[in-house]
Amino acid sequence: MVRLAARMGALGTETAFEVLARAKALEAQGKSIINLGIGQPDFATPPHIVEAGRKALADGHHGYTPANGILPLREAVAMDLHRRHGVTVSPENVLVVPGGKVTMFFAILMFGEAGAEIMYPNPGFPIYESVIRFSGATPVAMPLHEAKGFSFSADEVLAQVTARTRLIIINSPANPTGGVVPRAEMDRLVAGLERFPNVAVMSDEIYSCMVYDGAEHVSLLSYPSIRDRLILLDGWSKTYAMTGWRLGYSVWPEKLIADATRLAINCHSCVNASAQFAGLAALTGPQDAVHSMVAAFAERRQMIVEALNGLPGFRCVSPGGAFYAFPNISGTGYDAKGLQTRLLDDAGVATIAGTSFGAHGEGYLRFSYASSLPQLREAVERIRQFLGNAPPGERRL
């Protein structure tokens, strides 16, 4: 009998992949499923980016690259951050990694160990809590509040900092809530963090290009007082519809970049060379495809939020960013997991229970609106019919 390391028992998962597998199995049985479970753009990678990847392979870019990424790509990342956030970043502090997840894995492993505490958003991207537990550290939930548009309260976050706190994870715009943290709340958090110079911050800004209705993305890179302990997570997956290319980047402070690069060398050596050339074309080429994708998401967001608010027992705040709606479903009489299961099995609509994103997600469902308008309308109609037909006695599972 093989014997695994004890920490393997602490590793969680991302339920979206399990729901995807169940949805595929139901489809294989001939059922019609509308999948609003998966968090990826339903658009193809823009053709000029695909062409740059193809050309890199044809031109012979088949070997290892520097572990931290090719210099032109790191320079392009620095220029893009300057263009979007008005900040100066040295290409020497940029680490190109295979997807957004790798940055969180490295950052959490770098700070997490038994006795340490790491604060993370809840409901939040499930991998944060999973990897914190895997590292041996204690996860400390930072509650997000529906009444605050799913922002945290800076005072509440600061009140939870202890002598054991090593790292605080921030995610705005957020998965699964679509919440965007307002500038005043960020200002308050950063001002408070100045009292705790030993606490590092990882800011997951993977949805930074997707904000709506005048909501403002505030990058934590723009606060000089925490730059020496800030790790930025961003990448190409969502902005350029490149989830399958596995390409992301991080910005590390001076004192951490060598450690982060050593983790990369130990883990994956470098990122696929052709993907790096594709990423370069994405940052330096035309941005029209990004603008039209965001415009499509904005239209769908408006439609789905209105439609969800019209469902009995549903209440949905208007999300400021990303491509998720996170309605409160407690008025339906179902708990989150129960409604997720019934909607998939009986109504043919795949969604994700809020509890898949942490204990504070009870009473909510996540809808990814990275789907066409007709599909979204049909999904809401199916749910309306399901709720209308479900006998009240069967409601509590």
Q: CB-wise, 211 or 311, nearer to ligand PLP? A: 211
Q: Which two tokens stand for residue 173?
A: 């715009």
Beta bridge partners of 122: 143
Helices then strands, counting H and E runs in the chain, come out as: 12, 12
Please choose, from the candidates 141, 140, 134, the residue with its C-alpha nearest in 3D space to the C-alpha of residue 112: 134
Q: Are 247 and 279 in contact (CB under 8 A)?
A: yes
H/E stretch holding 357:
none
Q: CB-wise, 96 or 387, nearer to ligand PLP? A: 96
Q: Which two tokens stand for residue 49?
A: 């980016």
Q: CB-wise, 135 or 175, nearer to ligand PLP? A: 175
Q: CB-wise, 99 or 139, nearer to ligand PLP? A: 99
The least CB distance from residue 101 to ligand PLP, in Å, is 4
Q: Are 369 and 324 in contact (CB under 8 A)?
A: yes
Q: CB-wise, 85 or 366, nearer to ligand PLP? A: 366
The least CB distance from residue 243 to ligand PLP, in Å, is 5
The least CB distance from residue 289 to ligand PLP, in Å, is 18
Q: Are 350 and 23 in contact (CB under 8 A)?
A: yes
The least CB distance from residue 60 to ligand PLP, in Å, is 27
The least CB distance from residue 337 to ligand PLP, in Å, is 20
The least CB distance from residue 53 to ligand PLP, in Å, is 16
Interface with ligand PLP (CB under 6 A): 39, 99-101, 125, 171, 175, 204, 206, 235, 237, 243, 248
User: What are the φ/ψ torsions at residue 351 (nearest 5 degrees)?
Assistant: -135, 180
Q: Are 353 and 186 in contact (CB under 8 A)?
A: no
The least CB distance from residue 175 to ligand PLP, in Å, is 3
Q: Are 157 and 119 in contact (CB under 8 A)?
A: yes
Q: Which two tokens stand for residue 377?
A: 């309308």
Q: Are 130 and 11 in contact (CB under 8 A)?
A: yes
Q: Are 219 and 208 in contact (CB under 8 A)?
A: yes
Beta bridge partners of 368: 324
Q: CB-wise, 93 or 171, nearer to ligand PLP? A: 171
Q: CB-wise, 37 or 327, nearer to ligand PLP? A: 37
Beta bridge partners of 231: 202
Q: CB-wise, 46 or 100, nearer to ligand PLP? A: 100
The least CB distance from residue 49 to ligand PLP, in Å, is 15
What gap in Å lies between CA 126 and CA 112, rounded to an integer?
16
Please choose, from the candidates 106, 91, 108, the residue with its C-alpha nearest in 3D space to the C-alpha of residue 268: 106
What gap in Å lies between CA 246 and CA 257, rounded to an integer?
21
